[in-house]
Amino acid sequence: MRNVILVTGGAGFIGSNFILQQMQGGDDSNLIINLDKLTYAGNLQNLASIATNRRYEFVHGDIGDRDLVRPLLEKHKPRAIVHFAAESHVDRSIRGPEDFIRTNVDGTFALLEETRAYWNALPEGERTKFRLLHVSTDEVFGSLGPGDSQFSETTPYAPNSPYAASKAASDHLVRAYHHTYGLPTLTTNCSNNYGRFQFPEKLIPLTILNARDGKPLPLYGDGKNVRDWLYVEDHCEAIATVLRDGRPGETYNIGGWNEKPNIEIVETICDLVDEMAPRVGGRRRALITFVKDRPGHDRRYAMDARKIERELGWKPKATFESGIRKTVRWYLENDEWVRNVTSGSYRQWVATHYSS
């Protein structure tokens, strides 16, 4: 019997890193099915190295399409689902929340319904072993002040953006499916990720590419909002750990123990790009431009990730210094990937979003 994992949203930033990491281990009894709609954020180029591997299969489709998901579950009989698929960009959720409700809320609901039906029909032994792992975010907890304690698993939800609200809604649905129907769910809430394959609408890749090209580096507000940055490979290892050893019905916070104000992130990137791709026109820090703040911009996120360390033995391996250096180098060395994702609709997004 094959050990099948259904990954949703596996062509995105974190999902593709997760699949590649999973494909490094295991044997022929393992199969990963990647169900992805290929929105602007999904990119099969990330997975080109495994595209023809017999242990991997891509399915193009929407998690909200129940007539697609039902036969997919029946055919492949996964022993786990790792649910990454989502609209993920806060600024886009502010400009147009509808897609966020459709995928993050309705799509997760549809996936839960089909999973419940599939799981109910499994033989007893397989029902016990089955897991649905829902990948969520620290943004559901709202915003911290400078002296506040970090978010823990028991911090009340207080989402502030349409994106955060849609993820909070999906977390609640997952919780309810465990509590009401007994579905063996796991939820992870993670802080800001960075690393290869992140779409350059997000702060770190946007800054690297603009710095490379000598373009303005937009910082919202006073640039002092704080995020807790985690290298994506550490997040993927945490997800694999929770999937293997997590207790059904539990939630686990994942973070980098690495709080930094945005201005410090941008200055660090400027210095690294200066070092790796020296510029005749002077230091990149001069390109930093303060722009109008994001509406409802959360001031600070910080994760208390002691539970996952205490109970499951996971903690981040990468330091910020090593992770950000690898990330800057990757973007500078992968021009073809960059050119492919920064064509057409990306240029339109940048022009609209940063025009004022």
Decide if residue 11 touches ligand NAD (CB under 6 A): yes
Q: Which of ligand NAD, ligand DAU, none interacts with 90 (beta carbon under 5 to 8 A by kind)?
A: ligand DAU
HSE-CB at 56 with a 13 A cutoff on CA atoms is: 22
Decide if residue 62 touches ligand NAD (CB under 6 A): yes
Q: Footprint of ligand DAU on this chain (CB under 6 A)?
A: 88-90, 137-139, 191-192, 202-203, 206, 218-220, 225, 227, 262, 294, 301
**Residue placing its CB nearer to ligand DAU in the complex, 184 or 200:** 200
Q: Is 309 labeled as catalytic in the residue annotation?
A: no
Residue with tokens 């990149």, as numbered in its chain: 284
As a whole number of angstroms, the distance between CA 188 and CA 182 comes to 18
**Residue placing its CB nearer to ligand NAD in the complex, 64 or 142:** 64
**Residue placing its CB nearer to ligand DAU in the complex, 10 or 184:** 10
Tokens read off for 75: 């055919």
Decide if residue 167 touches ligand NAD (CB under 6 A): yes
Q: What is the DSSP-derived secondary structure letter of residue 82?
A: E
Decide if residue 36 touches ligand NAD (CB under 6 A): yes
Among positions 105, 135, 239, 305, the unique one binding ligand NAD when judged by CB under 6 A: 135
As a whole number of angstroms, the distance between CA 185 and CA 176 comes to 10
Q: What is the DSSP-derived secondary structure letter of residue 12?
A: S
Q: Is 138 labeled as catalytic in the residue annotation?
A: yes
Q: Which entry of 139, 171, 201, 259 is annotated as an active-site residue? A: 139
Q: What are the residues facing 18 on neighbouring strands? A: none
Q: Which entry of 36, 114, 138, 233 is annotated as an active-site residue? A: 138
As a whole number of angstroms, the distance between CA 28 and CA 128 comes to 24
Q: Which entry of 56, 118, 163, 331 is annotated as an active-site residue? A: 163
Least Cα distance to 131 among 289, 270, 239 occurs for 239
Q: How far is the CB of 227 from ligand DAU (least distance, A)?
A: 5
User: 188 and 239 in contact (C-beta within 8 Å)?
Assistant: yes
User: 29 and 57 in contact (C-beta within 8 Å)?
Assistant: no
**Residue placing its CB nearer to ligand DAU in the complex, 294 or 306:** 294
